[in-house]
Structure formats: C-alpha cells, structure tokens
Amino acid sequence: MFDWILKLPLTLAEAAPAAGAGAAPGAPDPASPAGLISMFLPMILIIGVFYFLMIRPQRKKDKKVKEMLANLKPGDRVCTIGGIYGTIKGLRDDDVILSVGHSNTEIVFARWAIRNVEAVTIENEGEILT
C-alpha cells in the first residue's frame, strides 16, 4: 500500500542528474560549498546589520540608564516618566522618596520610574531657570 513512499528517494535520485544537466553553466551547485555560502551570506549580513543598528545601541542605552539609577542619591533633582519633577529625599531598595512642590509633599516612586537626573539643582522652585 505504501510502497511508493519507499521508492520516492530512488526516483528523486534518478531525476537529480537530469535536472543538473539542464542548469545554467555559470550557476553554482546548491550542494557545493560556494552555493551554500551564496545562500547564507545575505542572511548573515542582515543579522549583522540588525545587530549594529538596533541591538548594540539599545544595549548601550540600557547600560547608561542602569548606571544612572544605581548612582541616585538624596538631593538629586529628577524627572519621573510621568513628568513629575522632584528632589530625592530618601532611597530604599527599589523605591525613591521624592519631595514635590512648594509644600514639599513626599511621594514614593519605583526606582525604574525615574527618567533622568536634572543637571540644575534648584534651591527655590519659585525662581525661573536660566
């Protein structure tokens, strides 16, 4: 009943030399090392381009953010991912206590919610920055 399945490899092996004779004279054989390299070279180049244009810059950015979060200290002026500006009053393991507004209201944020540390330290929040 399934004898044709067993004979299929023999039929394909007999048909392969006939197909190879009709191929273009300059085309590399896919089974040869040159044929394999010409097939995989574009894929390798695409992976290389993705690495250098997307993966590597993202890793550098993640490293800078991780370093910034590790170097937080009380007194730093920060901006959260929600756009709230405040001054760090205290640090815990994964939390940051911010002092916000004129009345110095304390708010607790997750450490990862800090977007960046501001370069300017403000003594009085009522003054205009220059």
Residue entry with tokens 């997750």: 110
In a domain, 127, yes or no: no
* Alpha carbon distance 128, 123 (integer Å): 11
User: Where is the domain boundary, 40, 56, 71?
Assistant: 71
Q: Quick one: 85 and 111 in the same domain?
A: yes
Hey, what are 33's tokens?
A: 């090392």
Q: Quick one: 67 and 78 in the same domain?
A: no
Q: Quick one: 101 and 79 in the same domain?
A: yes
In a domain, 128, yes or no: no
Q: Quick one: 109 and 83 in the same domain?
A: yes
We report the CATH number of the domain holding residue 110 as: 2.30.30.30
Q: Quick one: 78 and 57 in the same domain?
A: no
Q: Quick one: 66 and 89 in the same domain?
A: no
Is residue 50 within a helix (H) or strand (E), and if so which, with residue range?
helix 33-50
Mean pLDDT of the chain: 81
Say if CB 105 and CB 64 are below 8 A apart: no
Say if CB 130 and CB 120 are below 8 A apart: no
* Alpha carbon distance 80, 67 (integer Å): 16
Say if CB 30 and CB 20 are below 8 A apart: no
How confident is the model at residue 67, as a pLDDT?
95
Q: Which of 14-18, 35-39, 111-115 has the lowest mean pLDDT?
A: 14-18
* Alpha carbon distance 30, 17 (integer Å): 13
In a domain, 45, yes or no: yes
**pLDDT tier, 130 (very low <50, low <70, confident <90, very high otherwise):** very low
Q: What is the pTM of this model?
A: 0.59
Sheet of 114-117, strands arranged across: 105-110, 95-100, 85-91, 77-80, 114-117
| Domain count across the chain | 2
For residue range 76-116, list pLDDT tens digits in order.
999 999 999 999 999 998 999 999 999 999 999 999 999 99
How confident is the model at residue 84, as a pLDDT?
94
The mean per-residue pLDDT over the stretch 42-59 comes to 93
The mean per-residue pLDDT over the stretch 56-79 comes to 94
Q: Quick one: 35 and 67 in the same domain?
A: yes
In a domain, 95, yes or no: yes
In a domain, 92, yes or no: yes
Full domain range(s) for residue 39: 31-71
- The b/e string for 76-98 (b: 16+ C-beta within 10 A; e otherwise) is bbbebeeeeebbbeeeeeeebbb
The mean per-residue pLDDT over the stretch 62-83 comes to 94
